[in-house]
Structure 1
Amino acid sequence: MLLSIALMFTIGILLGELFTKFKLPGFIGMILTGILLGPFVFNLISDEILTVSSDLRRIALAVILLRAGLSLDIQDLKKIGRPALLMSFIPATLELIAVVIFAPLLFDISYMEAAILGSVLAAVSPAVVVPKMIALMEQDYGQNKKIPQLIMASASVDDIYVIVLFASFLGMYQSGDFSFVSMMMVPVAIVIGIVIGIVIGVGLAAFFAVFRVRDTIKVLVILGVSLFLYVYEEPINTVVPFSALLSMMVIGITFLNQSEERALRLRDKFNRVWVFAELLLFILVGAAVDIELAFTAGGIALLLLFIELLFRFGGTQVCLLGTTLNQKERLFSGISYLPKATVQAAIGAIPLEMGVPHGELILAIAVLSIIITAPIGAIGIDITHKRFLKKG
């Protein structure tokens, strides 16, 4: 087990840095590490690690959501207004619809499995988008129309929306109930998730106001409480529909809106935790990929990705109609909204773990979407921002 951890960390970091040197997202190197070390290639990751890999990926997803919540200022959404709201759900919805229509035609899967696949693929990647947009803000590109803020804020809510849909579709699959009534439970799950997240966030904020502890301890307590939500999500769902993932993000948002200074300190701590969590997440996702199946599905999967990305890009353009953004700025926004990574890595293997018949295929397409779209989005942003956005 120690040898496996040493190999994962060493090779993962080295390949991650190598990809970064070529201006590509480092997590692609980490995924490649997992594929090479995993059971389908060299089989150098011990069974003990693979047995708990699903739990480790869930911890990484909790870190992602808490970081996103601590970064999402509701005031920014209010300032940007209608385009941010529309971009939070329309591109993802159109992308999901495209997968539900075309995936059963291209692969031998049911519409329910296609909906699960679509909800895995539909999220945009904060791991690619947020650092790029922060860099543009620092360089003063697109600041006159708040374009980086628009993309950052919309991407954060886009992830919430898609993750809630993913959890809802999985619940419908498990129960075998795919009906209008079950779809109506989705907004109920959203409302209850928000309420529970706010209550816990306010409670934790009050607790930390009374018991003064170091920020590191606060991070561990918040993460621990979030994992409790994971554990008890299923029992709660037997009573009322509930999204633990949404509650986690709302906890972060509540902290940010109660005390920005404290939230920024905690976000910095979570960023440090993410360095370790990111390494584990992407390596273990890579290790779960059946490389033979990925190659078999390669050409058809690329066609599906191309179709759904067209739907996403078109949805982004529709959201920006009637705004002050010109054609070049709208094109830049569409390119910036293409990359996928963290959410796909965090939830891509869950259908496989839960016994969904084509779970291996869903995971393989999710990983392929990361490998294809993350470089396209990152390079596209770097190439076009000077041509399409105004500086100063």
Structure 2
Amino acid sequence: NTVCLRLSMFPLTCEATTMAVVSYLILGLPWVWGFILGFVLGAVSPAVVVPSMLLLHKEGYGLEQGIPTLLMAACSVDDIIAITCFTTCLGIAFSTGTVWLNVLRGPLEVLGGAITGVALGYFLRYFPSRDQRNLVLKRSFLLLGLAMFALFGCNVAGIPGAGGLCSLVLTFVAGIGWGNAKAPVEAVVERFWHVFQPLLFGLIGAEVIITSLEVTTVFLGIAALFIALTVRLLITFVVVLRAGFNLKEKVFITLAWMPKATVQVYLSSLTNRPSFLLCLYLLLGPSRYFRQV
């Protein structure tokens, strides 16, 4: 339990802080925006980690030490912390009310998303009932539909930070309630994932504006990312030093704790700017970026 908490907290906060400092010194980014960028880039992407860990779990690797379970659990907590800190910093950057209201906005959004996710998850546990026909298909479509409803509904309601967490929690709660019966639902969702995964990353790439790239700023941005990731790798290795893993397992956990993908796109889209513009603000440079803002 302590390893899971350490793994989900320390690498994220250290990478975000390092990115904020480096972006301030190298790129001239204000401190608030530096931490926004840091928490965007610091989150681990479950779209990369979870499928890989599920595959290793099926193959029987790391089961004795519980490595796949550890990484999947820590990944969820890591994203919750990243979303909370991100929405808090974003509220400060675009503050329109009191300081305390802006500071509390992030935690309140996370709390609201978690409570709504638990409620929807319990709803899926008992509806549709187990005696209905085509139960697997009904559960699958309701699961996907409610997850999309939570994501888009929270954006419409003005609490975008709660949507992703609500989707995560409702699937987690529903899966626990279904027990072994969740395996067929997982298979259906996996088929949908194979269809939408290329579209997801294709749409991410479509937002990159090649003509706006500046060579100098690109190299500075790569340097900033390299420094932040190096700090993350070192902190991750230190975190698992006395957790009962051998050297190979420690190296594996350290490298498995690097992936960046869909979380970065989701969080950066909450600024109402193109996702790649915020995630890699460094591609445009400080002066051009803030003229657009």
TM tier relative to shorter chain:
0.7 to 0.9
Q: Corresponding residue for 2:288?
A: none
Instruction: Answer whether contact 2:41 2:279 (CA < 8 A) is retained.
Output: no
1:125 and 1:343 map into 2 onto residues whose CA distance is 5
Instruction: Identify the match of residue 305 of structure 1 among 213, 222, 225.
Output: 225
Superposition deviation, residue 311 in structure 1: 2.2
SS of match in other structure, 1:143: coil
2:70 and 2:282 map into 1 onto residues whose CA distance is 26
Superposition deviation, residue 177 in structure 1: 5.7
Q: Corresponding residue for 2:291?
A: none
Q: Corresponding residue for 1:112?
A: 32
Residue identity opposite 1:332 in structure 2? F
Instruction: Answer whether contact 2:91 2:102 (CA < 8 A) is retained.
Output: no
SS of match in other structure, 1:226: helix
User: Alpha carbons of 1:197 and 1:326: their partners in 2 closer, same or farther (altered >3 Å)?
Assistant: same
Instruction: Identify the match of residue 230 of structure 1 among 131, 151, 169.
Output: 151
Q: Corresponding residue for 1:217?
A: 138
Asked if 1:271 corresponds to 2:190, the answer is yes
User: Alpha carbons of 1:234 and 1:133: their partners in 2 closer, same or farther (altered >3 Å)?
Assistant: closer
Superposition deviation, residue 350 in structure 1: 4.5
Asked if 1:362 corresponds to 2:282, the answer is no
2:59 and 2:143 map into 1 onto residues whose CA distance is 34
1:263 and 1:231 map into 2 onto residues whose CA distance is 25
Q: Corresponding residue for 1:78?
A: none
Q: Corresponding residue for 1:145?
A: 65
2:157 and 2:4 map into 1 onto residues whose CA distance is 32
SS of match in other structure, 1:175: coil
SS of match in other structure, 2:127: helix
Percentage of identical aligned residues = 28
1:284 and 1:278 map into 2 onto residues whose CA distance is 10
Superposition deviation, residue 278 in structure 1: 1.2
Superposition deviation, residue 254 in structure 1: 0.9
User: Alpha carbons of 1:282 and 1:177: their partners in 2 closer, same or farther (altered >3 Å)?
Assistant: farther
Superposition deviation, residue 213 in structure 1: 5.2
1:233 and 1:137 map into 2 onto residues whose CA distance is 33
User: Alpha carbons of 1:210 and 1:112: their partners in 2 closer, same or farther (altered >3 Å)?
Assistant: same
TM-score (norm 2): 0.81
Q: Which has the higher contact order (CA 8 A, sep 6+)?
A: 1
User: Alpha carbons of 1:294 and 1:269: their partners in 2 closer, same or farther (altered >3 Å)?
Assistant: farther
User: Alpha carbons of 1:177 and 1:83: their partners in 2 closer, same or farther (altered >3 Å)?
Assistant: farther
Q: Corresponding residue for 1:247?
A: 166
Superposition deviation, residue 236 in structure 1: 5.1
Instruction: Answer whether contact 2:15 2:232 (CA < 8 A) is retained.
Output: yes
Segments of 5+ residues of structure 1 without an aligned counterpart are: 1-80, 368-392
* Equivalent residue runs for 1:98-137 within 5 Å: 98-137=18-57
Q: Corresponding residue for 2:205?
A: 286
Instruction: Answer whether contact 1:88 1:157 (CA < 8 A) is retained.
Output: yes
Q: Deviations over 1:65-121 (max 9, x none)?
A: xxxxxxxxxxxxxxxx11012212221111111122111222243223222222221
1:242 and 1:283 map into 2 onto residues whose CA distance is 24
Superposition deviation, residue 246 in structure 1: 1.0
Superposition deviation, residue 258 in structure 1: 0.7
Number of aligned residue pairs: 281
Instruction: Answer whether contact 1:167 1:243 (CA < 8 A) is retained.
Output: no
SS of match in other structure, 1:338: coil
Q: Deviations over 1:224-264 (max 9, x none)?
A: 333333344257558xx971221111110111111123322
Deviates more, 1:135-144 or 1:331-340: 135-144
